[in-house]
Chains A and B, each alone.
Chain A
Amino acid sequence: MTALIRIIRAGPMATIQDAGRFGALHHGISASGPMDRGAFERAGGPLANAGAEGIEFTQAGLAFTVAEGHFRARGEGGEFSLSVNGSPRDWPADLGLGAGDTIDITPGPSGNYGYLRFDHAIDVPAVIGSRATNLVAGLGGLDGRALRRGDELTLVPVESDVVVGEMIATHLPADDGPIRFTWGLHADLFAPAARQAFLGANFVVSTRLDRMGVRLDDPSGVFAGAPILSLVSDAIVPGDIQILGDGTPIVLMRDHQPTGGYPRIATVISADLDRFAQMRPGTALAFAPVGLHKARALFLASR
């Protein structure tokens, strides 16, 4: 049976996501998908007949009413406060919801991104094979944009023979320690002293962060006065740490542009990118290098 939810409150970056729009880089489109993939997968994994889509929301939270129908929902990612009809519920959340229920999610002590998955699919059209919202390109999700007050989403049952694959991330990422990276595409263009300083420095997550990238404050000035290089535009992957012309480091995230011409000193490893995405503005962090073998082993262990 279908269900209908009506959005009461959503932040400017609350979006519909699925695993991602893979295979479209050669059309100039990056994959998008959840900022915290592990949390997205943990939300859907335990649900029977989980829909491939979910709602990603931010510190601005999310509130909605169930206008019609009933369904199960699971919430994961960061720490959020959730209530149903005014009664507090646990987070992560496992909910049976029906017509008339009002769900209100507000920020908790940590994390930037939370997820709601349903035992229903969200009925929006697939665009180039995916329902993930790409806010930069204005594609997918609900009309290529963030959710807002008054939006109605139809939830449709998932056919029981639909296999929702690879939705079984069970390992929570480590809570602390440096963010690990492999040296980047242009690491050799940075002076040895700058590379060394990068390893020892503390950076701070700035308030300028979105699904495209997270700018870091660089209080010790590791990249201040770095020479401005003219590079041929080349492929970008999520986690790339690029240094802008004014010396600002920016970690590129899920809605990154497919190519870019700023130098990239490093790439955050796949196993640590979710943890990085959840770091709030003001969080101090350091970076530590690992080799490719170690990065791969950590990724496989995180699955």
Chain B
Amino acid sequence: MAEAEVFPPPLILPLGDRSLLVRFGNTLSDEANRAAIAFGRRLDERLPDGVSEIDPNLVSVLLKYDPERTDFERLAGEVRLLISAPTAIDDVAATTHRIAVRFGGDDGPDLEAAAAVLNMTPDAFVATHNASVLRVLTIGFAPGFAYCGFHPEAFRLPRRTEVRPPMPPGSVLFAAGQTAITSTSIPTGWHVIGRTDFRNFDSAADPPTTLREGDRVIFETVAQ
């Protein structure tokens, strides 16, 4: 088992009168995300009394609780105890997924522009993009929407200044050191670089999402 890393203690915050948020950082960092994933997995093993649902986010874990069964102070105490026990955050069980993507063209209208900003050819952009094994940072924002990261510092772009009208499900998005996969039609300010037939959301399936935070993702190119 990997030796536990030491983190600054997370903030334990109320979010309204029925939720508690454990936040591992104020900015999106690799370590804050890994800490949130590991803490979410620990909670999955046993939910504290009165907690009805947990939701790991990019750098935090939300705990929804029933005020008839517990209160914030009591739950915060239990959370502090859980946090004080060491967690091996590299020991999170992870499945590896290979996602086949059609890059560029009508499927990825922003590929050329994104590559140009990075002084790369589209082919070099795709090669660099696919070279990293990414981690599913979280599922959120929209049904099945998967945030995957992180790309190397030299391979990062901010979001576009303009939001595109709704793009089809399976759009592969690139911004802020991450690649995201949509599963529903949503507007986006990310660079749309490709499309996949993979859908991380099926309302009839149980569970309805395939990717889980902490899983590994490898992107591959489909010949067009």
Q: Which of B25, B27, B56, B57 has the most CB of A within 10 A?
A: B57
> Is A127's CB within 8 Å of the partner chain B?
yes
Provide the residues of chain B in CB contact with A133, threshold 8 Å. none
Q: How far is the CB of B167 from chain A (nearest CB, A)?
A: 15
Residue in B23, B143, B204 whose CB lies within 8 Å of A234:
B23
A296 and B71 in contact (CB under 8 A), knowing A234-B23, A235-B62? yes
A139 and B23 form a contact (CB under 8 A):
no
A235 and B16 form a contact (CB under 8 A):
no
Would you give the 0/1 interface string for B206-218, flagging 1 where the beta carbon is closer than 8 Å to chain A?
A: 0111000100000
Q: How far is the CB of A173 from chain B (nearest CB, A)?
A: 15
Q: How far is the CB of B147 from chain A (nearest CB, A)?
A: 8
Provide the main secondary structure of the chain B interface: loop
B209 and A27 form a contact (CB under 8 A):
yes
Could you tell me the distance between the alpha carbons of A270 and B15 in the complex, rounded to whole angstroms? 11
B21 and A185 form a contact (CB under 8 A):
yes
> Is B83's CB within 8 Å of the partner chain A?
no
> Is A295's CB within 8 Å of the partner chain B?
yes
Provide the residues of chain A in CB contact with B56, threshold 8 Å. 26
B53 and A22 form a contact (CB under 8 A):
yes
A259 and B141 in contact (CB under 8 A), knowing A23-B52, A237-B16, A299-B17? yes
Provide the residues of chain B in CB contact with A292, threshold 8 Å. 14, 17, 71-72
Provide the residues of chain B in CB contact with A141, threshold 8 Å. none
Provide the residues of chain A in CB contact with B208, threshold 8 Å. 24, 27, 128
Could you tell me the distance between the alpha carbons of A139 and B184 in the complex, rounded to whole angstroms? 11
A258 and B140 form a contact (CB under 8 A):
yes
Provide the residues of chain A in CB contact with B25, threshold 8 Å. 232
A296 and B17 form a contact (CB under 8 A):
yes
Could you tell me the distance between the alpha carbons of A128 and B205 in the complex, rounded to whole angstroms? 8
> Is A225's CB within 8 Å of the partner chain B?
no
Provide the residues of chain A in CB contact with B62, threshold 8 Å. 25, 235, 237
Q: Which of B18, B139, B140, B209 has the most CB of A within 10 A?
A: B140
Would you give the 0/1 interface string for A266-303, flagging 1 where the beta carbon is closer than 8 Å to chain B?
A: 01111000000000000000000000110110011001
> Is A65's CB within 8 Å of the partner chain B?
no
A270 and B58 form a contact (CB under 8 A):
no
Residue in B60, B64, B72, B201 whose CB lies within 8 Å of A28:
B201
> Is A182's CB within 8 Å of the partner chain B?
yes
> Is A240's CB within 8 Å of the partner chain B?
yes
> Is B145's CB within 8 Å of the partner chain A?
yes
Residue in B27, B55, B204 whose CB lies within 8 Å of A235:
B55
> Is A61's CB within 8 Å of the partner chain B?
no
Could you tell me the distance between the alpha carbons of A232 and B36 in the complex, rounded to whole angstroms? 13
Could you tell me the distance between the alpha carbons of A24 and B16 in the complex, rounded to whole angstroms? 19
Could you tell me the distance between the alpha carbons of A51 and B209 in the complex, rounded to whole angstroms? 29
Q: How far is the CB of A248 from chain B (nearest CB, A)?
A: 16
Could you tell me the distance between the alpha carbons of A138 and B169 in the complex, rounded to whole angstroms? 13
Could you tell me the distance between the alpha carbons of A296 and B17 in the complex, rounded to whole angstroms? 6
Q: Which of A234, A240, A267 has the most CB of B within 10 A?
A: A234
> Is A102's CB within 8 Å of the partner chain B?
no
Residue in B28, B141, B201 whose CB lies within 8 Å of A232:
B28
3 closest A-B pairs by CB: A25-B55, A295-B17, A267-B16
- A residues whose Cβ falls under 8 Å from a Cβ of B: 22-29, 127-128, 137-139, 182, 184-185, 232-235, 237-240, 257-260, 267-270, 292-293, 295-296, 299-300, 303
5 A-B residue pairs with CB within 8 Å: A25-B53, A25-B64, A137-B184, A234-B23, A234-B58
